[in-house]
Amino acid sequence: MSVLTALAGCGLPEGLSMKDVQTYETAVASIGCVMRTEADYLPVELQTGFTREQVVGLTEYQLATGKAEQLEDGGAKLTTGACA
10 in Cβ contact with 27 (< 8 Å):
no
Instruction: Check: CB of residue 8 under 8 Å from CB of residue 58.
Output: no
Which pLDDT tens digits describe the chain residue by residue (84 residues)?
344 444 444 578 889 999 999 999 999 999 999 999 999 999 999 999 999 999 999 999 999 999 999 999 999 999 998 999
SS3 of 25, please? helix
Instruction: Round to whole Å and give the CA distance between 46 and 44.
Output: 5
Q: How far apart are CA 65 and CA 51, in angstroms?
A: 21
Alpha-helix residue ranges (DSSP H) falling in 31-75 = 38-48, 52-64
